[in-house]
Structure 1
Amino acid sequence: MKIQKEIVLPGPGQSFKLFSPSLRNNFYWHYHPEYELVYVEATTGIRHVGQHISSYMDSDLVLIGSNIPHLNFDYGVKTEYRQIVVQLKENFLGDAFKETPELTNIQRMFDRAYLGLSFSGNTKKIVAEKLRYMQGLSHFEQLLHLLEIFQILATSDEVEELNEQDTSIKLFFDDKIRMGTIYKYIHANYNEKPDVNTVAASVHLSTAAFCRYFKRQTKMTFTDFVNQYRITQAKTLLLKDVSVSEACYEVGFESLSHFNKLFKKLTGENPSVFKKRHN
């Protein structure tokens, strides 16, 4: 359950790794020196990169810098999904990025990747198509397409920095909190009444110390995080043609009006509108 270092091994004759992992039933809180580009298509899922925690809808495209702890993007996904991952060393082309003026924008993007970069809109759509197409190409053609993808990302303004500061693993080595324990407890109890005292005890902290730790790490209170997790699960239920009221009570809310208000606050629309738009 504690943080793990992933060993990344490119395939024979390749300078990077292109693959489609499937780990939905595993809590894989990990890091690696390699940069990682993740594209995932799923009804809804969790995005946890460094100290940033949020949910995504339909799809997500994120570039993660070296040694930044992150959770597998398919963790806990309950519906069908597809995932494509590219992993590469910063110097996978030697000093080409630093010495080739045409690649300056890409180098600048890599320099910002330690914050975690999330791409949206048309950028995400175009890159997703290219990643799918890459999988059937020769190694050399894959390399050319990857450079084109990086140039698209590097010149896009449809990008969000997920963290405000460096969250690389050097800041996590002395952290004895097992994030897996926290996630596991919330996943098992979000539809009941998750008890902050219980989860604090499970990671050997007093309740006050746990609340300070959790707020510092996630920028959210424990209650806010649980509610966001509940709303994420409610989205999945609504897409399965469950009624709004049934989804509300099934994920643990006792008040329909509170559920509607919180759903709109976190997603920008009422659950009934969300359900109608997607169904």
Structure 2
Amino acid sequence: MKRYKQFAPVLISEFEVSDWIHPLHNHNHYELIYIRSGKGNHIINSNSIKYNDGYVFLLGPEDEHYFEIETITHFVYLKFTDLYIHQEEGMLNAGLRHLEYLIKSRETHLSGFVFNDSDRVTISRIFDVIISMKKEVLRNEDLIWMQVLTLAHILQRNMPEIRSNEHRTKDMQAVFCYIHKNIYYPEKLKAQVMAEHFKFTKDYIGQYFKKNTGMTIRDYVSVYRVNLIRQRLDSGKFRLKQIASEFGLTDESHVSKLLKQNRDKFSGF
């Protein structure tokens, strides 16, 4: 498996090709890929997703992918690292929470974002702005970051569970999305609150989740939260007190206790 490594915090590229030359690969960075024009298939983690004009894909570091191009495709790439995401003073920004939620949501990597006419126009113009800054990326890093956060807001409101109608409220993907989106609010992740949101009974939602995932809601929430906390600690920019406040935890000792409890739990999650 080829792994592409990026050392710059953010890079922008734009190109048009009729044949994809890269092998199946993953990265050490994140990628926002905009299909300005073209048609084909995007193979992500062995899943084939058809793409057309205006599609957007968001990939995390461990996602394996390549393209099968049917008609000449115009790609715009925005590639950024953890260092770029975890900028000082930015962690509590709501836009970054949208971005983190999107990156960590499983279904984000199994489909392309499809937009209504209004959002398609907005997305196109945002990428026009991004492209205009590609020759002076270092000088424009803050401005590019603003575009990333704006995109995160638009992508978030186009997630499947946001667009779904009532008969899809029991969709397992919607349950994942609810957890990822509300990981900062422990009260919203209580079984009773989740059951009411999804129109389940308290007992049934637990059984439903475990049947589909092999783990309890409590374990999934715990491990997911700890993974996010570890990312913050690894960045070296955030104190335990800040992290405790962001995740609605009691204090620094609560954070330390969670890390200790989950040190070896569900490795490879």
TM-score (structure 2 length as normaliser) = 0.48
Under a length normalisation based on structure 1, what TM-score does the superposition of the two structures give?
0.46
